[in-house]
Amino acid sequence: MKRLLVVADHSLVVHAIRLALRQTAGFKVVGFVDGRQSISRHLLDAQPDIVLVDDMHVRRHALDRLQEVAELAPEAKSLLLSGQMDEESLDEVFEAGATAVLSKAVHPVALGTLLREVVQENVVHRPRRARASAAAQDCPLTTRELEILRLAAQGHTNGRIARQLWVTEQTVKFHLSNTYRKLGVANRTEASRYAHLHDLVAEPDERLAS
């Protein structure tokens, strides 16, 4: 059982993470800590195996907490749950000592799976361009199937995807059906999990406008 410490600055974030992890086996949450101040005492007392840090309202707070983990609990895996996935922001996060970064676009169902993959060291950090290129080359999907999968993995409905791509909902369903077959998954949730695990989800600035 891996010991998980959650660091955030808002009760809504804590509640969302708690719900996402409720059905996840293999983790014991040892605390929810306010990330606006030092967590050194909590690191020493809780002895976590993994520390999940929200990027918080003031990003500097998150970076400071990641540095604390790197200095005081070097054996622990530190993950940032972030809404900023541009290269400059990622470089800053990894320089602060993060083991990995999880996008806030990730489906809640996939959070536990991604945490487990990081703990088992199945997720490594590589330059984003190289990683995206390798993922695209290995992906068995057509360009259109990949485009629809990315939007579906970001939580968009078939109707919204159809409007964005100027196609019918039936066309979206057709491509998703082919995608499930090619990826060997049973449904939309499993396909979304596959997309996140294999870094096939589009960058935040490519998402549909709200």
pLDDT tens digits along 92-122: 888 888 888 888 887 777 777 788 777 777 6
Check whether 16 has a pLDDT greater than 90. no
Q: Which residues contact 162 (CB under 8 A, 6 or more apart)?
A: 168, 169, 171, 172
Q: Six-digit token pair at 119?
A: 């703990």
Mean pLDDT over the full length of the chain: 81
CB atoms within 10 A of CB 106: 22
Q: What's the mean pLDDT in 28-44? A: 91
Does the pLDDT at position 29 exceed 50?
Answer: yes
Architecture of domain 128-206: Orthogonal Bundle (1.10)
Cβ–Cβ contacts within 10 Å for residue 90, how many? Answer: 18
CATH of 2-119, one of 3.40.50.1370, 2.30.110.10, 3.40.50.2300, 3.20.20.370: 3.40.50.2300
User: Is pLDDT at 127 greater than 80 in this prediction?
Assistant: no
Break the chain into its structural domains and give their ranges: 2-119, 128-206
- Strands 50-54 and 27-34 come out as unpaired
Residue 62's pLDDT is 93
pLDDT for 130-187, tens place per residue?
A: 444 445 556 788 888 888 998 888 888 999 999 988 988 888 999 999 999 988 888 9
